[in-house]
Chain A
Amino acid sequence: MGVAVTGYGIICAIGNDASAVLESLKAERTGIGTMRYLPSSHKELPVGEVKLSNEEMKRMLGQDEKAIISRTVLLGAIAIRQALTHAQWPMVDGQATLDGRRESQWSMKGKRITVINGTTVGGMDITEHYLMQIKEDDALLPLLEKHDCGSSTREMADLAGLKDAEVCTISTACSSAINAIILGAEMIQNDEADIVIAGGTEALSRFHLNGFNSLMILDKERCRPFDKTRAGLNLGEGAAFVVLQASPDPSKGVGNRMSVADGDDSHRSPSPLERVGGRLFIRGYANCCDAFHQTASSENGEGAFLAMTEALQMAGLKPQDIQYINAHGTGTPNNDVSESTAIRRVFGERIPPVSSTKGFTGHTTSASGSIETVICILALLNNFVPANLGWHEQDETCITPTKGANGVSLNNILCNSFGFGGNDSAIVISRNPSPLPAHLLRKCHKICTLGEATITDIEQLQELRNFVSPGEARRMGKLMKAATITSLKALREAGIECPDAIITATAYGMLETSEKFLLDMLENGEETLSPTLFMQSTHNTLSSAIAIRTKCHGYNITYTQGSDSFEWAVRDARRLIETGKAKTVLVGYHDEATPSFQEFVRRMGKPMPPMLFSRSIVLSANEL
């Protein structure tokens, strides 16, 4: 059985749908330019904006123009509707068009449908716009419920017409969307869902624009991935989703043509993917951790090397079977040399054409993994290799990117996607499924807990000195301190120094550091913001810090889906253990509040969240 892609949707700086994106790629037309929609004072920074206002997107989705909806949600809902339209999924009422004014829902009868979204910004654009007003005005309080990534995913799925679908959010910074596709593929492989709509969405926000700026990794010119003169990245925005389904075994003969339609599909016209010569598959994938630094990649590209190597292994392919690599290639001096080293380690002297498409789209952060997956799909279906815009001068420490090519035959493409904290993932997109047997669930395993530790009180943070030096502790906020203590105590009780995998659940993520950064920006303007706060604002900060501390290069992921976050994390841990992919998994559930957060909650009349909660458990197969 393979994991087939039966539909896709994309919206980004170079086009509002797949055909527009394809046209821009072939014409080598960049979408990066002067800032128009983001209300930032940093107009000197080029960005890859989607060329639509929020009002225009609301109209496309049949929404009231005055409704307050996050741009992240709008972009995601448009991409999902495109993907389902493309997959020729039937609607219950109304037409499956983007212009439809009616709130139509997609038909879901008898199907288990999951939407998996990768995002880190979530509703931050709403929060940064309204926070100061919310402080004064109770009527605006409900807007805060749009802030967290999990609720923005729910709103996006509802708006896309999938009110009854299960939803899940992954937040591993810039590799979020590729990890969403990987989780979707795992769920299909293991028959946990009939249809998964997986990808990611990220709108530009002042928060992360200023955060990247504080790290001094934004180029004031157009980015030049892999070029000798490269001086940083340009941020972009967008969303892309793929529809994933199990591909029945071809040896079983008739009736196995893929269809998202229910029951009899004999009258159905072939979907666009079928018309252009077949199906595409997510053939292999891997999620590994560089375990090196919160915001920098290691010199030898270990995490990237492991991700590419393991993805090829799973795909049953050798390096020479890959005809194109879509690199992460952000354009920062550090990423591009580290990734080049990793590519050289995997491919040796025979490196296939490589390009970074971020010169077209900008770095779309959490959405980049799915945007680039769809770009790879377009390349496969249309027999071309996208160019590496902006490259002019060879850097000896980097690979030489392709100038682009037309009329080439592609069978297998490798797509890299890396995130802060060294959350490095890679997938192989192919015309054929992997010939290797999948690691399927072996239900015989019993899962047991080898160690656990919990912190609910700030007083307990005193214990930190037993585990880390004051020098190391100086940058840690309270949630990081708590997560470090509970993780290391649980591992110690389990008698394990380095687990095989690290999974974190968090409903709100790094609230304290994010709030400090945000308030500084709102009160004092978009200058002189603290890089230390920003680098500790992403949800995956905890998981990757623990990976760095334990030198864990294995699977590393962060779930943020409100009160369901921990359940998703445990589900993933069980899957890893039951499929034999990990023997020991560290699972953490970490959340914090701040005084102002508690004040908002009090004003809303809701139950008071604790200031601090951190619980870590080490799970293992019984027979360990």
Chain B
Amino acid sequence: MEQLINDLKLQIKEALNLEELSIEEFDENAPLFGEEGIGLDSIDVLEIIVLLEKQYGIRLTNSKDGKAIFQSVRTIAEYVQANRKK
């Protein structure tokens, strides 16, 4: 799980071009959206959906499904672990 969390951090940082965010600062429990957390938006959700399909063979067809899954890196990791195809 810790390895998966770390992989996801690197993949998200690269896919979303989060140059200013160091992996050490990237808290897997911090909310991804809103000003309190990492501050991502709806386009980032779409990019993470693409990432999950590319890296883990997970296909989400409705961006609204993402709300619960995309709360934090940890919730994404839990979802990936349960649903990954590769």
A residues adjacent to B (C-beta < 8 A):
214-216, 295-296, 470-471, 474-475, 527-532, 535
Does the CB pair B63–A528 fall under 8 Å? no
Q: Using known A-B contacts A216-B62, A216-B63, A471-B39, determine if residue A531 contacts B46 with beta carbons closer than 8 Å.
A: yes
Does the CB pair A470–B20 fall under 8 Å? yes
- Which residue of the partner chain, among B50, B62, B63, contacts A530 with CB atoms under 8 Å? B50
Does the CB pair B43–A532 fall under 8 Å? yes
Q: Which residues of B contact A475 (CB under 8 A)?
A: 17, 43
Q: Using known A-B contacts A296-B42, A474-B17, A474-B18, determine if residue A530 contacts B47 with beta carbons closer than 8 Å.
A: yes
Q: Whole-angstrom distance from the CB of B45 to the nearest CB of chain A?
A: 9
- Which residue of the partner chain, among B18, B46, B61, contacts A215 with CB atoms under 8 Å? B46
Q: Using known A-B contacts A470-B20, A471-B20, determine if residue A528 contacts B50 with beta carbons closer than 8 Å.
A: yes
Q: Whole-angstrom distance from the CB of A617 to the nearest CB of chain B?
A: 31
A532 to B41, CA, bound (A): 12
Chain A residues touching B, majority SS: loop
Q: Whole-angstrom distance from the CB of A536 to the nearest CB of chain B?
A: 10
Does the CB pair A529–B39 fall under 8 Å? no
B residues adjacent to A (C-beta < 8 A):
16-20, 39, 42-43, 46-47, 49-50, 53-54, 61-63
Does the CB pair B47–A474 fall under 8 Å? no
Does the CB pair B19–A214 fall under 8 Å? no
Q: Using known A-B contacts A216-B63, A475-B17, determine if residue A295 contacts B53 with beta carbons closer than 8 Å.
A: no
- Which residue of the partner chain, among A295, A527, A528, A529, contacts B43 with CB atoms under 8 Å? A295
Q: Whole-angstrom distance from the CB of B58 to the nearest CB of chain A?
A: 11
Q: Whole-angstrom distance from the CB of B64 to the nearest CB of chain A?
A: 9
Q: Whole-angstrom distance from the CB of A401 to the nearest CB of chain B?
A: 24
Q: Whole-angstrom distance from the CB of B20 to the nearest CB of chain A?
A: 4
With A470-B20, A474-B18, A532-B47 known, 15 other A-B pairs at CB within 8 A are A215-B46, A216-B46, A216-B49, A216-B62, A296-B42, A470-B19, A471-B20, A474-B17, A474-B19, A475-B17, A527-B53, A528-B53, A531-B43, A532-B46, A535-B43
Q: Whole-angstrom distance from the CB of A335 to the nearest CB of chain B?
A: 14
Q: Which residues of B contact A296 (CB under 8 A)?
A: 42
Q: Which residues of A contact B53 (CB under 8 A)?
A: 527-528
Q: Which residues of B contact A295 (CB under 8 A)?
A: 43
Does the CB pair A529–B50 fall under 8 Å? yes
Q: Whole-angstrom distance from the CB of B81 to the nearest CB of chain A?
A: 20
Q: Whole-angstrom distance from the CB of B9 to the nearest CB of chain A?
A: 16
A511 to B19, CA, bound (A): 23
Could you jot down 28 A-B contacts, CB within 8 Å? Answer: A214-B46, A214-B50, A216-B46, A216-B61, A216-B62, A216-B63, A295-B43, A296-B42, A470-B19, A470-B20, A471-B20, A471-B39, A474-B17, A474-B18, A474-B19, A474-B20, A475-B17, A475-B43, A527-B53, A528-B53, A528-B54, A529-B50, A530-B47, A530-B50, A531-B43, A531-B47, A531-B50, A532-B47
Q: Which residues of A contact B54 (CB under 8 A)?
A: 528
Whose C-beta in chain B lies nearest to the C-beta of A474?
B17
A531 to B63, CA, bound (A): 12
Q: Whole-angstrom distance from the CB of B70 to the nearest CB of chain A?
A: 14
A527 to B55, CA, bound (A): 13
A216 to B47, CA, bound (A): 11
A531 to B51, CA, bound (A): 11
Q: Which residues of B contact A527 (CB under 8 A)?
A: 53
Does the CB pair B46–A474 fall under 8 Å? no
Q: Which residues of A contact B19 (CB under 8 A)?
A: 470, 474
Q: Whole-angstrom distance from the CB of B79 to the nearest CB of chain A?
A: 18
A202 to B43, CA, bound (A): 26
Q: Which residues of A contact B62 (CB under 8 A)?
A: 216
A322 to B41, CA, bound (A): 39
Q: Whole-angstrom distance from the CB of A470 to the nearest CB of chain B?
A: 4
Whose C-beta in chain A lies nearest to the C-beta of B40?
A471
Q: Which residues of A contact B61 (CB under 8 A)?
A: 216
Q: Which residues of B contact A215 (CB under 8 A)?
A: 46
The residue in A214, A471, A535 that gathers the most chain B C-beta atoms within 10 A of its C-beta is A471
Whose C-beta in chain B lies nearest to the C-beta of A333?
B64
Q: Which residues of B contact A471 (CB under 8 A)?
A: 20, 39
A529 to B46, CA, bound (A): 10
A529 to B62, CA, bound (A): 16
Q: Which residues of B contact A535 (CB under 8 A)?
A: 43
Q: Whole-angstrom distance from the CB of A45 to the nearest CB of chain B?
A: 12
A530 to B49, CA, bound (A): 10
Whose C-beta in chain B lies nearest to the C-beta of A471?
B39
Q: Which residues of A contact B39 (CB under 8 A)?
A: 471
Q: Whole-angstrom distance from the CB of B31 to the nearest CB of chain A?
A: 15
A216 to B42, CA, bound (A): 11
A214 to B50, CA, bound (A): 8
Whose C-beta in chain A lies nearest to the C-beta of B39?
A471
Q: Whole-angstrom distance from the CB of A216 to the nearest CB of chain B?
A: 5
A218 to B38, CA, bound (A): 29
Q: Which residues of B contact A532 (CB under 8 A)?
A: 43, 46-47
Q: Which residues of A contact B16 (CB under 8 A)?
A: 474
Whose C-beta in chain A lies nearest to the C-beta of B47?
A532
Q: Which residues of B contact A529 (CB under 8 A)?
A: 50
A215 to B42, CA, bound (A): 10
A528 to B56, CA, bound (A): 12
Q: Which residues of B contact A474 (CB under 8 A)?
A: 16-20
Closest 5 CB pairs of A and B: A531-B46, A474-B17, A470-B20, A528-B54, A216-B63
Whose C-beta in chain A lies nearest to the C-beta of B50?
A528
A528 to B54, CA, bound (A): 6
A474 to B47, CA, bound (A): 13
Q: Whole-angstrom distance from the CB of B54 to the nearest CB of chain A?
A: 5
A470 to B53, CA, bound (A): 27
Q: Which residues of B contact A531 (CB under 8 A)?
A: 43, 46-47, 50
Whose C-beta in chain B lies nearest to the C-beta of A529?
B50
Q: Which residues of B contact A216 (CB under 8 A)?
A: 46, 49, 61-63
A240 to B16, CA, bound (A): 39
Q: Whole-angstrom distance from the CB of A338 to the nearest CB of chain B?
A: 14
A191 to B42, CA, bound (A): 46
A29 to B18, CA, bound (A): 49
Q: Whole-angstrom distance from the CB of A28 to the nearest CB of chain B?
A: 30
Q: Which residues of A contact B50 (CB under 8 A)?
A: 214, 528-531
A529 to B49, CA, bound (A): 10
A527 to B49, CA, bound (A): 12
